[in-house]
Every structure is written in C-alpha cells, then in structure tokens.
Structure 1
Amino acid sequence: MSQPSLSQPPSTQPNGSQLRARATGLTLAGLIVAVSMTTIDQTIVALSAPTIETDLGLGHDLMQWAVNVYLIATAAAFLLGGRLADVFGHKKMVQIGIAAFGLTSLLCGLAPTDAYAGAWLITTRALQGVAGAIMFPAAIGIVVQSFPREGRAKAMASFFAITGAMTAIGPIAGGFLTQWTWRSVFWVNVPLAIVASAIIAVSAAPSVRRDERIDLPGALTIAAGLGAIVFGLQQAGSWGWTSPYVLASLVAGVVLVIVFVLVERRTDEPLVKLELFRDRGFVIVTLATLFASMAFLSTFFFLSVYGQVSLELTAINTGLLFGKFFVGFVIAAQIGSRRFDQVGARSVLILGGLIGAAGFGWLAVSVTTIPANPGAVINPQTWPIMLAGAGVGFMISAASTDAVNRAIGASYGEVTAISQTMRNFGSALGLAVFSTLVTGVLIDKLTASFTALGAPADAAREVVGRISGAEVGHGTGSGSFDQLPTALQQQYLQAVHQGYADAVAWAFAGAAIAMLVVTLLGLCYPKGVISATFGDHEDSGSAAAESGTATVAA
C-alpha cells in the first residue's frame, strides 16, 4: 500500500505569478511606509514648531528656517536624486535614501540646547530634505517597474492616496508626541525607516546599474536655480514681493535654470533629457501637476490656520479637516486611476479639474460662515472639503502615471523627479501667492474692525503678524493687543475669527482657479492618446509599442 503524500497538493501551492504578486504587494507596502515619512514631516514639524522654538530657545526666524530649508533642499536635489536612481539602480538608491532619512531624523531629534541649536537643526533638516529627494524618485521607479502598464495607474493611485493621506496624521501625531517630547516627532521616523528598509530588501527586484555618468555641473546649476526660486517664493510673504532680496533671488534662480537648459543641450549624458519636453502630453501633465499642487499642498496650511484661528480647534482636531479632505482624495484617486487605464489622461484631467474647482469654490463660500459645531465630523463644511479633495485625487496620480509612462527608455526616476519638482514649485508658488492675498485682505478687515472698536491700526497688524508667523508692515508694537481693555477682548477675538475666515476664502477661490487651469490643460491634451509617446519596450510585441503610441477612437 502506498504511503500518503506529505507534500502539499499542487493545486493549493502558489504558482510563480502568485508569488510575484505577493512580492509586488509587499514591495508597494514597504515603499508606502518609506515615503509616508516624508509626507508626515510636511505637517508634523511645522505644527510642532512653537514647542521646539521654546525648548531650544530659538528665535522665530531660525525656527522658520528649520521648517523652510527642508522644502528648499528637497526641491534643489530632486533632479539629481532622479538621475542617481536611474543610473545606480532604484532599489539601491531607495535603500540609501531611507537610511539617510532615518539617520538625519535621529540627528534632528538630538539637537543640542546650546548656542548651536539653530545651526544644528537647520543643517540636519536640510540633509533630511536631500535624503527625501534621493528616496522619492527611486521609490516611484520601483513602483513603475513592479507593475505592468494596465495595473500601474491603480498602484500609483494607492501609493499617492495613502502617502498623501499620511499628511493628515501629522497634526494628530504631533499633538500626542509633543506631550512626551518634541524630539519624538523626528525619532518616530527611525523605526519606520527600519521597517521599510527590511521590507524592500527582501521583496524588491534587484537594482540594475547603467554605465553612465552623472552630470554634476548640471546638477549643481539646477539645484542652485531651483533652490533660489523656492527661497524667493518662501520669503515673499514676510519680506514682500518688492523686496530687493526676493527679486534678486527669483531673477537669479530663473537665470540659473536658463543656463542649465543651455548646458544640458550640449551635454552627451544630461541630467534631464530635454527631448521629453517635445512631447505635448508630457508638458501638459507636468503643468497640470504644478497647478494642482498650488491648490493641493497650500490647502493644508490654510485649513490648519483656519481651524485653529477661526474655528478655535486644537491642532489634533484640525487634523480632522485634513482627514475629510483625504476621504474624498482616496476614493476619487481609485476611480480616476481606473478611468485613466480605460481612456487615458485627457478626460481625467478635465473631470478632476472641474470637480476640484467646484469643491474649492464651494469651500471658499462656506468658510465665511463659522459652523455652530466646528469640531463635528459632519457639518456644512464637510462636503466642500471632501469634494475639493476628490477633484485633486481624481487627477493627480493619473497625471504622475502618465508622466512616467512617457519616460524615455526606463528613466522613471528622472521623470518622477521632474514631476515632484513641479509639485514642490507649485506648493511654494501657491503658498506665496495665496498668503500674500490672504494677508492683504486680513489687514484691511482687521484694521476696519479694530479701529471701529477703538483700537489702533497697529494692533490689527500685530495680530496679522502673529497669525501669519511673520512681521507684517513696519513699526508694529509687540504688546499693543495684550494691552487692550479686557472688556473688549472678546469682541476683538470675534473680529479675528471672522476676519480670517473672510480672508482665507480668497485662498480657496485661488485654488479653484488653479483647478480650472487644470481643466483647460486637459482640453489641450492630445485626443485619443492613452499611453506613452516614448515606450520603455516592455510591450515590444504589441503594435502600440512598435508605433510608440497607443490610441483610442477620438
């Protein structure tokens, strides 16, 4: 009599495709954990800044530099990070980026309490930004290489939806962690980095190195140019758009970008393949990313200030506003990715822009009426916030997917770096323009309200300075508001609550206009095109790959 088999029945054993699918899913999870560190840092550090400033004895200007230098360094290093990923391998560079981000996060949390505290924190934050710029393009490169074209948009939608939603975790996590120590807002990245690195080490495909050189002169030129532009935009709110330092920074940045383009045209192995910009579809989705980012990323700042100033919410409860935004974002991202796979980017850009414009326009109207229960999960402002998030979510991951599908060869890191540079630039531009607009309106409204109540106009400017985190105007006193009669304090506070609500409506109106531009760009997108103009030869057997472009009936 034969012995019963001790082996698992063949029908229940996973086949090769199932094992690959599991590894791919595990890789995506690891990359989401890694990149979530960078998105959480966008809000957790800014909202923990007052505690850090007090504990280290930093001046406000030094603390602002510690917050702003992260974005400047990231914007400056993204293109180099993308090129490094494509040349040395995406897996290798994402692991280096994760390790560097974890280490620099640890160093940020170890800032001393002596005279070197400011320099230490600013330097480590800059290095943290560079680490993020190395990690992100390589992470997207792995996502792109791990998924075929037909499933890529869905994977990218999940990636951007979850990592973007982590931004809402920042205020909540920061509120809890700072009760223990502000240093933990940085140290929380260390275990995340260890987990992400371990997952990617065992699940991601090996890196492939190219025998190509890195264009260091081009990298330094574009880093200086983009850094100068972002710096000028960041300082425009506090120094003013007519400040000679702001103008000099912006002009120098633009000149350096032009020099970079001229140099790259004469370089055999450039940092950026400029022929990408001959592709009309690529240019359109890149511009759409810029304008959507003007609305998307500046929304976090304005919702945060609106929640704490006008609605009198705690930082933790303000995170609920972000949560509402991302409910719409996450749901719409999945729908938008499916539509992108079916019909391409054109209609996704058009619909996403229209939905976003409607949501932000509705939000601009609704924020002027402060709800009776602002901390409630459901109130009249919930729906416009969700609709605004849905508009951005519907198109942003599709735009990024379309961009990487158009990569020349397999330069996914390079293309991702371009897209992320535009996201950072759009964020800085939107925040600079909308902050200037909001500050101007707020000064006018508070000046009128305060003078009607008998307070000097300087008191209004002082309050605006406290809200914006920057001194507004000249000659404002340091304690004029605190010296006002106690009996009138509540009336002044009410004026501040309503004044900021009326002023921030202009920022959301600007965001609605930015999303309308996305719609217009969608109308200019080539009709019928649903995939890359430049193929990566992964579908070389298909007619679409042979022609370089797949189309549907217009």
Structure 2
Amino acid sequence: MLMVTINSSIVIISLPAIFRGIELDPLAPGNVGYLLWLLMGFLLTSAVLVVMFGRLGDMYGRVRIYNGGFVVFTVAAVALSVDPFDHGGGALWLIGWRVVQGVGGAMLMANAAAILTDAFPADQRGVALGINQVAAVAGSFLGLLIGGLLAEWDWKAIFWVSVPFGLVGTVWSYRSLHDSGIRTPGRLDLPGTLTFALGLTALLTGITYGIQPHGGAKTGWTNPWVLSAVVAGSALLALFCLIEFRTRQPMFDLALFGSRTFALGNLAALLAAIGRGGLQFMLIIWLQGIWLPLHGYDYESTPLWAGIYLLPLTIGFLVSGPLAGWFSDRYGGRLFATGGLLLAAATFVALVLIPVDFDYRLFALIILLNGLGMGIFTSPNTAEVMSAVPAERRGVASGMRATLMNGGMALSIGIFFSLMVVGMSPTLPGAMDEGLRAQGVSADVAGQVAELPPVGSLFATLLGYNPLRELLGPSGTLDQPGVDAAELTGEQFFPHLISGPFHSGLIAVFGAAGLMMLLGAFASWFARDKRG
C-alpha cells in the first residue's frame, strides 16, 4: 500500500524533470492535456476499477487478486523506467503505462483492507488497518520527498524505485499470503461495471478539465464539452445506481450503505480525501511559487525542497496513525475519528491566518498538527467501517472505500484549482498589470499578460518554472529597451507580485477544505460506534 500511494504522488513533484527528460514543454498550447493526464491517469484508473477488483476478490479469492496486482504493478514500473520515446510520444508512453499501473494499484488497494480484516480479530483490527491505512495516506506525501530527491538524479529513477519492491513483494505475497476469507460465488455485474466505469471517468474528466480556461472565461466551466461530460457522467452514475438496486449480484453493494457506520464513515473518508488532495497541491504551489523563491531558492530546485519542507506533514501521519488504531481498539473509534478531523479543520483555519511569507517554524507546526489530525482520524475510521461489513462482503466493501478515497483525490484537482482561480481572479489582473508596467513592460503587453487565466501561472509554479519567464519570454518582451528583465525574472519579483491574490485564493481553498473537515467530523460523530 505504501508503494502504491507513493506512486500516486511521486509524479506530481517530478513533473519538471519528466518533461525535461522527454523534451516536451507542458505549458505550450496543446500540451496541457499531457500534464493533466499524467496527474490524474493513475488516480482515475484505480478509482474506476477498484470496486470491480474488490468484487472479483470476493468471488475468486482476495489474495489471488492482490497477488496479481503485484505482477501488473511491477511490469508497468519496468515499462515506465525505460521510456524509449521523446516529445509527445514519450508522454503518451508514460500516460499509457501509468494507466496500466493504476490497474495493478486497484487490484492491491481493493483487497488489502479486506485481507487484513479477515486475518485479525476485532480487538486487533484497529492497529492492523491503521498501519495499512496510514501507510497508504503517508505514501502520498512521502512520494513528494522521494520524487524530489530522485528526480534531481535521473527522472526515470522515480519509476525504478518501484521495481525492486514490486519484485520482492510479488514473490513474498505468492509465498506467504493465504486466503482466510469467505468466498462468495457469483458472476461479475457487467452492466453495473460498464456504467460505473464510464460514468466516473466522464465525471472526473469533466471536473478536471474544468480548470482549463475556455473562451474569455478563467476556467472551463462554460465549456460545453466540460458541462456535457459532467452531466453525462452524473446520468450514467444515476443509471448505475438503478442497475445496482435491481441486480441480484451487484458490483457496488448499495445495501451496505444501510449501515450508518458504513455510510457516514465513508462520507467522512471521502471528505477527508478531497481536503487532503487539495492541501497537497496548494502547499506545493505555495512553497514552489512563493515561499522558496522569496528565501533564495531558484525555481529549478523548488520541487526537491518543497518535498523536504513538507516532511512534518508526513511525520504527523506516521506517528499518530498506529497510535490512534491502538487506542481505538480499546476505547472505540468515534471520539478519535471526530477529534482528528476537528484538529485538521483548525489547521486549515491556521494556514489562512498566517502570512504568505511565513515563519517556517510556525508553518511546520501547523502542517505537523494537520498530519496528526488526519492520522488520528484515518485508523479508527477504517477499522470501524470495515468491521461493520459482513465477512463475505469485505472485498467489495474495501473496493468501495478505496474508490471513494481515490475518487476524492482525483476530484480535488478540479475542485481546488477552480477555487484557487476564482479566489485569485478579482485581484490578480490589477496587481500583475501594475507590477509589470512598473518594470518597463508596455501597457499593451502588461494588460494582455494580466488578463491571462491564473491557471497558467499556477501550473508554471507547480512545474518548477519561473512564470514570468514563461509568460514574457516567447514574445521577446524581456529583450525590449527599458524593460528590467533581470528584476522581472528574478526570484523575488513574481512571489511578491502574486502574494496578495494568492492569499485570496487560499482563503477560498482552505475555507472549503476546513468546511469539509467539519462536515466529516459531524459524520464521524453520528456514525454508530459498535462499542456504544
């Protein structure tokens, strides 16, 4: 689970090295699609397929599907590390094999929690599932650090790292794991599988592409294709629910939501996953685009240092997760799950209150507390939800849970980038126009750059590029007489310019994330605690 989720985030921090390695400019017109699919291909595939593999685990054995997942995952890791192409072909190779790797990841994620639930008695499940779930969540942040370190050496190394773990894991799982769960004979629900896969793919793709500008709008929410994808995806998912209610052997057992513990526990997990994904992206942009350049780091090195400076967040997960699982085994999970999300909500408020150019010690304390809160929530939540499921349905329940969490991470890309753009749009054009003209840029060019959608600057900082060099360089503006090119492309100018608008965006983003944590805490409190 640790390796699977490391691979879900390791690409995010390594995107600059990847695109340099395949000699492709991701910000050039027509290339943004490569960027989006590299970001979401793994998450989307695993979210779509994980329930199906959970159902297959119930039917044919959870360990068998889990072991097969190791094989698929490892083959894809090998293929990713030997990309033979450059430019668009190289990007398509990586996207295709990331999708295949997502299939293997789905096979692993769908059955890991169910195998552990089968293997451990009720009074030990909190610790066992807590360690597993914390490994899964912590992996998404460890991937940032590992990706930053390895990408500095060789971009292909971010994929090499999975190969030895995959090979050893494949051999180990085939030799050591044995099915102890109850099998449920039956057949695969093909109508449900197809409508779910198509509906979720259309919905998540539409929401993700909603961050791309359309026409004169700053986002793509007026794009007919985006709206059509969201509407069609929602309609297909509604049809899927109707099919599942009527079929005798459903893939997505909606009857499980009749359990208050299962329903509210999964709602809380979904909200936490969306908020966690938004936090991850926004902290990377904050560090790479503003704080690190203000403190003397060049843009090319910011991906590595962003991973390093986010270590307190990961440490919080690793410390609190197993401990919360141990305590929840003895005292019940409701108080811990609720308290963890309340702590996380408080940290989102704190992140809005600190200045954009913060004191790192305060920032480190806040993200440490956020990691602690998420870890305190995750272990008890997982144990309570999985323990509420009949033994013969644990595979499909584990898959349903993984779908909600992976879908939440994929949703966070579209939701929080859109919120950031909306939050920045009122003040960014004026600040950009005034700042550029003060450095000698003509009024026409300054006005044109100021009206560009903020998502271009956000993507540039995410990729470790100097945004103004990317925006002004191709037009030759930096070479014009009277233009202070050194100041414009220095490490201080853009961070100072964007600080005010960026903080406005943070209010929208972290305000929404904090509200999600509060709603998740509310759901956790009213989920039935089996210990009363």
Q: TM-score, normalised by structure 2?
A: 0.85
What secondary structure sits across from 1:116 in the alignment?
A: helix
The match for 1:105 among 77, 91, 94 is 77
State the one-letter code of the partner of 2:176. Answer: S
| 2:391 match: secondary structure | coil
Alignment of 1:356-371 (within 5 A): 356-366=344-354, 368-371=355-358
Cα distance per residue 1:1-52 (max 9 Å; x no partner): xxxxxxxxxxxxxxxxxxxxxxxxxxxxxxxxxx222211222112222222
User: In structure 1, what is the Cα distance between the partners aligned to 2:169 and 2:34?
Assistant: 32
Give the residue type in structure 2 aligned to 1:49.
L
Does 2:206 align with 1:224? no
Greater C-alpha Rg: 1
8 Å CA contact 2:118, 2:180 repeated in 1: no
Amino acid of the structure 2 residue aligned with 1:270: P
Other-structure match for 1:29: none
User: What is the CA-CA distance between 1:434 and the residue it aligns to?
Assistant: 2.1
The whole-number CA distance in structure 2 between the counterparts of 1:250 and 1:393 is 32
Structure 1: how far apart are the matches of 2:351 and 2:495?
Answer: 23
> Which residues in structure 2 correspond to 1:327-476 (within 5 Å)?
327-366=315-354, 368-371=355-358, 374=360, 379-453=361-435, 454=437, 456-462=446-452, 464-469=454-459
Q: Which residue of 2 aligns with 1:47?
A: 13
Q: Is the contact between residue 206 and residue 227 of structure 2 (CA under 8 Å) also seen in structure 1?
A: yes
Rounded Cα–Cα distance in structure 2 between residues aligned with 1:334 and 1:156? 9
- The amino acid of 1:395's aligned partner reads F
Percentage of matched positions with identical amino acids: 26
Candidates 91, 96, 106, aligned match of 1:133:
106
**In the superposition, relative to structure 1, how do residues 491 and 318 fare at CA in structure 2: closer, same or farther (>3 Å)?**
closer
TM value normalised by structure 1: 0.82
- Quickly say closer, same or farther: Cα 1:321–1:160, change in 2 above 3 A: farther
The alignment status of 1:234 with 2:205, answered yes or no, reads no
Task: Confirm or deny: 8 A CA contact 1:228 1:249 kept in the other structure.
Answer: yes
- Cα deviation, 1:150-187, whole Å, max 9, x if unaligned, reads 11011111122233223333233223323443222112
Q: 1:310 corresponds to which residue?
A: 290
Letter in 2 for 1:508: F
Contact 2:142 2:314 in 1 (8 A): no
1:72, CA displacement in angstroms?
1.5
Q: State the partner residue of 1:547.
A: none
The residue type paired with residue 333 of structure 1 is G
**Aligned-residue CA RMSD (Å):** 2.5
Q: 1:285 aligns with which of 247, 265, 270?
A: 265
State the AA in 1 paired with 2:85: T
**Equivalent residue for 1:121, pick from 84, 94, 106:** 94
The number of aligned residues is 487
Contact kept, 8 Å, 1:73 with 1:126, in 2: the verdict is yes
* Partners of 2:237 and 2:305 in 1: CA distance: 42
Q: Deviations over 1:194-248 (max 9, x none)?
A: 1222332333224665432221222121111111111112111114222211111
How far 1:497 sits from its partner (Å)?
Answer: 4.6
- Listed one character per residue, the Cα deviations across residues 485-530 of structure 1 (whole Å, up to 9, x for unaligned) are 236524444213554355334322221111111122134323xx32
Provide the C-alpha distance between the structure 1 equivalents of 2:264 and 2:407, rounded to a whole number of angstroms. 16
Q: What is the rounded CA distance, in whole Å, between the counterparts of 2:240 and 2:8 in structure 1?
A: 29
Unmatched 5+ stretches in structure 1? 1-34, 531-550
Distance 1:218 1:274, change over 3 A: same
> Which residue identity is paired with 1:98?
F
Aligned to 1:510: 512
User: Aligned to 2:178, what secondary structure does the other structure show?
Assistant: coil
Shift of 1:459: 2.4
Distance in 2 (alpha carbons) for counterparts of 1:106 and 1:155 = 30
Match of 2:118 among 145, 157, 160: 145
Instruction: Return the match for 2:231 from 251, 260, 277.
Output: 251
Q: Distance in 2 between matches of 1:388 and 1:206?
A: 36
Please say if residues 11 and 39 of structure 2, whose CA atoms lie closer than 8 Å, have aligned partners that are also in contact: yes
Q: 1:340 to 1:461 in 2, by over 3 A?
A: farther
SS of 1:242 mapped into structure 2: coil
User: Is the 2:472–2:478 Cα contact (8 Å) retained in structure 1?
Assistant: no
Which residue does 1:24 correspond to in 2? none
